[in-house]
Structure 1
Amino acid sequence: MEQNRKKTSKPYSPEFRARAVRLVAEHRDEYRSDAAAHAAIASKLGCSPDSLREWVRQAQRDGGERPGPTSAEKARIKELERENRELRQANEILKKAS
């Protein structure tokens, strides 16, 4: 069963995201908590603290510092889900044709 999801654009380039993550890593010790660092740095960059928090967490997963799927693994899962969906549709068409 497919969910109706709104397609959202990614308004921030990979370079912008990498720079934002680097700024958090470089300046984290200047703040009392991760949340405070995310809020302060995000406001300076013009993005949301939640977005910045997710980018930092994904960078940590990609670097092996945090458990969970890496960006490459997430892309592979998405590709396999698409392929699975296409094969199911093809099977339905073949069932109806026979």
Structure 2
Amino acid sequence: MVLTRGDLIMAAPRKYPLELRERAVRMYRATGPKPQIKRMAVGLGVHPEALRSWIRQAEADAGERDDRLATAEREELAALRKENAQLRRANDVLRTASAFFAAQLDPTRPR
């Protein structure tokens, strides 16, 4: 297996634990009339925009929003982009090798 520069980059650690995110979204969904996100975020000790983002993502994952990709779709898109980049690199290598060997087989061909 060949490691590329992209394989060596590690994701940054999450600022808030996953359990806190899940609990915050559950709390938001469990309340009757929707509470103010800012007030709830202050009570949980998180940034309001972080909580708003978690709620939006949970709604997208549940199929309640069409303006965001679900988590599974986002992961699939990232994997496909990575595979596409690898295939482009492989094609470049094959193109270069093909030109090299063509030049070796036909020395009269202009370079």
Q: 1:26 corresponds to which residue?
A: 30
- 1:62, 1:70 within 8 Å by CA — same for their partners in 2? yes
- 2:28, 2:34 within 8 Å by CA — same for their partners in 1? no
TM-score normalized by the length of structure 2 = 0.68
Bigger Cα Rg = 2
- 1:60, 1:66 within 8 Å by CA — same for their partners in 2? yes
State percent identity of aligned pairs.
Answer: 38
1 CA distance for matches of 2:34 and 2:81? 42
Q: What secondary structure sits across from 1:69 in the alignment?
A: coil
- The CA deviation at 1:28 is 6.0
Structure 1: tracts of 5 or more residues without a match:
1-6, 32-36
Please tell me whether residue 9 in structure 1 is matched to residue 13 in structure 2. Answer: yes
Consecutive aligned runs of 4 or more in structure 1 exceeding 3 Å deviation = none
- The CA deviation at 1:26 is 2.5
1:1-98 correspondence runs (5 A): 8-27=12-31, 29=33, 31=35, 37-67=36-66, 68-98=68-98
Structure 2: tracts of 5 or more residues without a match:
1-10, 99-111
- The CA deviation at 1:8 is 4.2
- Aligned residues: CA RMSD: 1.9
Whose relative contact order is higher, 1 or 2, with alpha carbons under 8 Å and at least 6 apart? 1
Greater share of residues in helix: 1
Q: 1:34 corresponds to which residue?
A: none
- The alignment covers a number of residue pairs equal to 87
2 CA distance for matches of 1:30 and 1:81? 37
- The CA deviation at 1:92 is 1.3
